[in-house]
Structure formats: structure tokens, C-alpha cells
Amino acid sequence: MAQLDAALAKIDANLDAALQRLFALVSIPSISTDPAYAGDCQNAAEWLKDELHSLGFEASVRPTAGRPMVIAKAKARRANAPHVLFYGHYDVQPSDPLDLWKTPPFEPRLADAPTGTQIVGRGTSDDKGQLMTFVEACRALKETGDFPCDITILLEGEEESGSHSLPAFLAENRDELRADVALICDTSMLDRATPAITTMLRGIVTQEVVIKGADRDLHSGLFGGAAVNPVHVLTKIIADLHDENGRVTLPGFYDGVAELPAEIAAQWREIGFDGAQFLKDVGLSVPVGEKGRSVLEMIWARPTCEINGIIGGYTGKGFKTVLPAQASAKISFRLVGAQDPEKIAANFRAFVKAHLPADCHAEFMAHGGSAALQLPFDSAPLTRARAALHDEWGKEPVLIGSGGSIPIVGAFKRDLGMESLMIGFGLEDDRIHSPNEKYELSSFHKGARSWARILTALGAA
């Protein structure tokens, strides 16, 4: 542990220099979605390549059909050391609206706040500050000895614009990128003092359904009461997707949905999450999901069926007395555990068809889907990372779920056969994708210290 202590001391002593390096990276407007910034994305990739090369990595910028990737590789001194793949992204969201920024978005600065010092600028939290915590940990370990693991770093340049080049890149470089475990930094802590490891990501199925009736719109005075109304049909089908207890009624919907392990359920109860306040913050007061489930459980660990849009009949200004010829809805299912996206989609279509009255038929369009992901709660890398985070923060890290999805985690599992540890140090109020994005100085400092501990712990395997 002597090298770890020295590395932690090095991180503390070099914090000002680390901030200047972060400022240099944030100053590059690497906006991937706008072709006008393609050169800046290239510059950011080159900057990172040079920085990693200076730390002893074999680093290169790899062209893609879109923005370039950065690949860096370094070996531990000892033979047969564990191999980790670290993933981050250097591209950022556009900075509009500019008039809402207190200072220019690509002129990073420190700002005092009631919670402590903040690093302000586009990309400080998502994801440049996060990825630089890992780089600074590597720097400190290299300057005090050697890397405890074999390390491969993959830095993407299109995460904020759809990762269009990533699938082909992973397929072409599968053997080079495969490791024992992937490390992903694009996540958050529970709060300013409590680290977290995201162990569950919900999957998704998105379906669009169009219910068609008559061959044209009909005058409601002439046909109303006699002709089938697709809006009636659609809304009844939608209503029938849930029972009186908030459970989804599709046959087999809950196949593969397991209860939380007792340890995780107990940990979540101790978090002190205020479900009432969570809803109050958006002007609501009563949870409407499955009865008997907490709000936290519903948004992290339970599957859902939601109506994301519905269209039918005349929706313009004024009024038009019409029976529409068709009505449509966009419906998404969030999945957990071992739910099968293809089975959910097929069962939804069968459910709709079974509920169609005479003279109506349905057409469907799929808009994509992916399975849920869950890291085994008893995996050795997770156990080691938990202990390392506890040592740094003095608190047991919370194993949390995410209501959304992180596509790269699924790609690593599907294409490279790797589990992922999702450990980040962002906070909910970092204003990512919004004006005045910030990253807590404590997140940057202790994030680097945390990665030094985690790499050391994983390397001891």
C-alpha cells in the first residue's frame, strides 16, 4: 500500500496543476453534433492522445466515419495483472442558449458556492471532468511507481450525438479492447458525501401503434354512434394495459423480473430518499405506479409501460366534428432483470390485436429496444471497488439503479463479453446539457483519489 499512499499524496499536491490540465481540455469546444466543430473534436482527441502518451501510454487517435476515437494502452510491471478497459467521452453538448451562461462556456473557471468550490464550463461534468479524474489517477500512480493493472483507455467523440461510429469500431477492434472488466465514469454519486456504483440499468422497448377504422374521416353528426371510432378503441386498449394496482397486464410481462436482494433493499431504505419531495419538485403529489412499491424502487428497479404520445382526430385550432379514420400512440416499456425485449414487443402487438373490435386493424412500427443490464451483486470487481470507495469517502457506497440506459454498457456486454463498473462523481445539480454546467472541485479531487484506490484494489486480484 506504500505506492497508493504516495499516489494519493501526489494527487493532493498536484491539484492545481490537474485543474489547469482540465481547463485546457474544457477550453476546446468539442461539440460533436455540429459539423462546424469537427476540427475542435479532432483537437480534443489529439490533446488527450498527447497527454496519455506523456504518462507512458501507447496512445493513438483512430479515425472513424464520424469523430475520432482515442485509444491508449499501458501494461503493468507484473505479469498476468488484471486488465481493465476505461471508457469516457470527450465530446460535449452544444452550449446554447449562450445568453444564459454567466461566463463563456469554453472559458472554464472556479466559482464559490454554498456547497463549496465549483468548476464551471461546458463539459466539466459531462464528461471531461469525469474522465480526467481517471487520467489524473493514472498520472499519480505512474509518477510513484507503476500501474497496478493493464489499462486500456477508450475515449469516444460522438457520445453526445448518438455514438453512430461506435458499433463498427467495437466490432473492428474487439480483440484489442476486450478486458477483464470495463470502467465507466459517466454516472453520479448519491449525494456530495456518498459514493455510488450504478449496478442496474433499465432496458427499453419502443413501439408505435396505428389503429385504423373507416376508409376516411367521417362526419360525427352523420356517423357518430354507429361507426367505430379509432380514438375510442385506442384509448381503451391503452387503459387496459394497467390493472387497478398499477401492474402491467401484458401476458408474461413480469417474466424475468426478480425482487431486490435483501441487502440492496435495506440499503435503499436507509438512503432517506423522499419520494413525496421527488414528486413535489415537479408539481405532483401522488405516486401512480405499482401499489406497495416505493418511488425509489419504481424508478430504479421496476419495469414500466408509459404512453409517450397520442394522436387522433382534429387537433388544430378551433373545432371540427369528425370521427377520425385512425389514431396512433407511441408507447415505451422500461425493462429490468432478464425481461426479453423481443418477447415484450411481440406480446404487446398480440395484446393490441386481441383487443381490436370488428372493422379495425392495427399497424405497428418499432423504434428500437435493448435489454436491461445488471452487474452481479457478488462479483469480485464490484466487491473490491466498494471497499476502495469506502476507504476514500468513509461511507459505504450505495449500489444504485438507473431509470435510463447507458448504451455503451450493453455494447460492452454484448460485443466484448465484459461486465462494467459504473462509477462516477457527478451530482444531480451539475446542470449537464444546460447553461452554467459545473463539476464540484471535491468531485474532481476525490474522484481522482478514488480511481487510484480502485485501480490498486483491482490490481491486487
Averaged pLDDT, groups of 10, the chain, 461 residues long = 95 98 98 98 98 98 97 95 97 96 98 96 98 98 97 97 93 96 95 94 94 97 96 98 97 96 92 93 94 94 96 95 97 94 97 98 92 87 97 96 82 91 95 97 98 97 79
The answer to the question of residue 399 being in a domain is yes
Q: Cell 482515442 identifies what position? A: 70
Interacting residues of 117 by C-beta distance below 8 A, sequence separation 6+: 110, 111, 440, 441, 442
Cell triple for residue 257? 423480473
| Burial of 300 per CB tally in 10 Å (0-12, 13-18, 19+) | buried
Judgement on whether residues 244 and 363 belong to the same structural domain of the protein: yes
In a domain, 295, yes or no: no
Q: Please indicate, yes or no, if residue 97 is contained in any of the structural domains.
A: yes
Same structural domain for residues 318 and 217?
Answer: yes
Which of 342, 370, 398 is where one domain is finished? 370
Question: Does residue 79 share a domain with residue 45?
Answer: yes
Residue 297 placed within a domain: no
pLDDT score at 407: 78
Query: In this structure, are 439 and 354 located in the same domain?
Result: no
Instruction: Count structural domains, the chain.
Output: 2
Q: 330 with 452, same domain?
A: no
Q: Are residues 80 and 210 in the same domain?
A: no
Where is the domain boundary, 370, 401, 429? Answer: 370
Question: Given this model, what pLDDT does residue 461 score?
Answer: 79
Residue 328: other Cβ atoms inside 10 A: 20
C-alpha cell belonging to residue 10: 501526489
Same domain, 36 and 144: yes
Q: Based on the domain organization, do 319 and 443 belong to the same domain?
A: no
Looking at the structure, tell me whether residues 240 and 318 fall in a common domain. Answer: yes
Q: Is residue 60 part of a domain?
A: yes
Q: Are residues 89 and 58 in the same domain?
A: yes
Residue 351 lies in a domain: yes
3-class secondary-structure state, position 258:
coil
Identify whether 298 is part of a domain.
no
Which pairing describes strands 150-156 and 420-422: parallel, antiparallel, or unpaired? unpaired
What pTM, to 2 d.p., does this model score? 0.86
> What CATH number has the domain bearing residue 352?
3.30.70.360
Same domain? For 103 and 227 the reply is no
Domain boundary pick from 370, 388, 418 = 370
Q: How many helices (H) and strands (E) does the chain have?
A: 15, 18
Pair 162, 177 in one domain? yes
Contact 70, 153 (CB under 8 A): yes
What angle do the packed helices 441-459 and 2-13 form, to 10 degrees?
160
Range of the domain at 28: 2-201+374-459
- Would residue 264 count as lying in a domain? no
Residues 6+ apart with CB under 8 A from 279: 285, 286, 287, 295
CATH number of the domain that residue 406 is part of: 3.40.630.10
